[in-house]
């Protein structure tokens, strides 16, 4: 049902964990709905230098989180803002239709983390 890439990111997720000194944090989803993600970013000179995630959810949700963190690492904030549910799903060689909402969550959590960073900078 899942692509090899999804299974790879699910069984060996990249960038798992908390980041106590994160510059931005984005949370999306809710355990009641079945998936919840937290993405932490570290930013230097407008570039995302480190990303971590924590996820409660199915195989697709965990693989999406892992892929989003891998894609965003090293990107400028503008580039990372353009990561979409479609680009995450594509990078994973596709997701089953009923799991597309998972890639939505991943992109949204990342965008929220960027927003959080920008808000903190604004203060």
- Give me the numbers of helices (H) and strands (E) for the chain, helices first please: 5, 3
H helix or E strand, kind and range, residue 50: strand 47-56
CB 37 within 8 A of CB 106: yes
91 binds another protein per the rule CB under 8 A: no
Q: Single out the residue of 56, 70, 73, 81 in contact with another protein (rule: CB under 8 A).
A: 56
In the sheet that holds 35-44, the strands lie side by side as 24-30, 35-44, 47-56
61 binds another protein per the rule CB under 8 A: yes
Q: Single out the residue of 45, 98, 122, 123 in contact with another protein (rule: CB under 8 A).
A: 98
String of contacts with another protein for each residue 4-43, x by CB under 8 A: ---x--xx-x--xx---------x-xxxxxxxxxx-----
**Would you name the residues annotated as active-site residues?**
33, 102
């Amino acid at each position: 049902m899942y692509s090899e890439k999804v299974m790879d990111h699910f069984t060996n997720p990249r960038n798992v964990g908390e980041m106590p000194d994160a510059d931005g944090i984005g949370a999306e989803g809710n355990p009641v709905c079945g998936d919840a993600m937290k993405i932490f970013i570290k930013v230097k000179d407008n570039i995302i230098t480190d990303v971590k995630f924590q996820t409660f959810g199915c195989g697709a949700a965990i693989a999406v989180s892992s892929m989003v963190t891998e894609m965003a690492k090293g990107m400028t904030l503008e580039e990372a803002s353009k990561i979409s549910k479609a680009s995450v799903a594509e990078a994973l060689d596709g997701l089953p239709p009923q799991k597309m909402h998972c890639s939505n969550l991943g992109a949204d959590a990342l965008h929220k983390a960027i927003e959080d960073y920008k808000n903190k900078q604004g203060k």
